[in-house]
């Protein structure tokens, strides 16, 4: 998987071949095909691996903070740092993979649902603690997911904006959307 990760990041999904992955990993074609029936399955496994890493880093960052707004900051920072660290791979996953068809679309929907559910859980907690007014956390979590996804995707594709600029713009917008008072933003 590490060899495939490197090749996809360096060459892109479509240009990387299974033969190159075999050569880079210093293994046999049979071994690769034993674990992954095709290049697409290998790629989708890498999407899972990256999603797991992103989720773990976000949860670890959130666990270091006691208060809701600080947790939002920590989650956004961890998200941007992770995408920044793996920007070439993220670009392949977010941009080039769009042409992979329904299997990738299903995987992408699964990942988006996973992170929207994570956001929803923290919004539900903020409502329960009285940090924000009651709100339809299902809709808000999807709106937040959409905003974060769009901004990160644009950054990964173009390199425009810096993580700092994204934070100072996106964070207050998200917090205002759930009624956090200006003095707490």
pLDDT of residue 107: 85
| CA 102 to chain CA centroid, nearest Å | 19
Per-residue pLDDT reduced to its tens digit, 24-50: 999 988 988 989 999 888 988 888 888
Q: What is the pLDDT of residue 105?
A: 83
How many Cβ atoms are within 10 Å of 134's Cβ, its own excluded?
Answer: 9
Nearest 10 degrees: Cα torsion 142, 182, 166, 60: -70
Cα angle: 113, vertex 73, 62; to 5 degrees: 65
Boundaries of every domain in the chain = 44-184
Indicate the fold that domain 44-184 takes in CATH: Tetracycline Repressor; domain 2 (1.10.357)
Confidence of residue 97 (pLDDT cuts 50, 70, 90): low
- Residue 87's nearest CA partner among 26, 164, 9 is 9
Distances (CA, A) of 131 to 15, 88, 138: 49, 37, 17
* Averaged confidence pLDDT in the chain: 89
Give this prediction's pTM.
Answer: 0.83
């Amino acid at each position: 998987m590490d060899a495939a990760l490197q090749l996809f990041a360096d060459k892109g999904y479509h240009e990387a071949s299974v033969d190159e992955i075999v050569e880079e990993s210093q293994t046999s074609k049979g071994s690769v095909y034993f674990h992954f029936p095709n290049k697409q399955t290998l790629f989708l496994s890498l999407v899972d691996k990256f999603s797991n890493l992103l989720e773990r880093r976000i949860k670890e960052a959130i666990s270091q903070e006691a208060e809701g707004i600080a947790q939002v900051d920590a989650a956004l920072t961890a998200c941007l740092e992770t995408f920044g660290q793996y920007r070439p791979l993220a670009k392949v996953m977010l941009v080039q993979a769009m042409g992979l068809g329904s299997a990738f679309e299903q995987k992408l929907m699964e990942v988006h649902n996973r992170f929207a559910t994570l956001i929803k859980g923290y919004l539900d907690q903020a409502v329960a603690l009285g940090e924000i007014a009651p709100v339809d956390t299902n809709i808000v979590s999807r709106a937040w997911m959409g905003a974060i996804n769009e901004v990160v995707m644009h950054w990964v594709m173009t390199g425009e904006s810096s993580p700092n600029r994204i934070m100072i713009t996106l964070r207050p917008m998200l917090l205002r959307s759930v009624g956090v008072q200006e003095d707490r933003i």
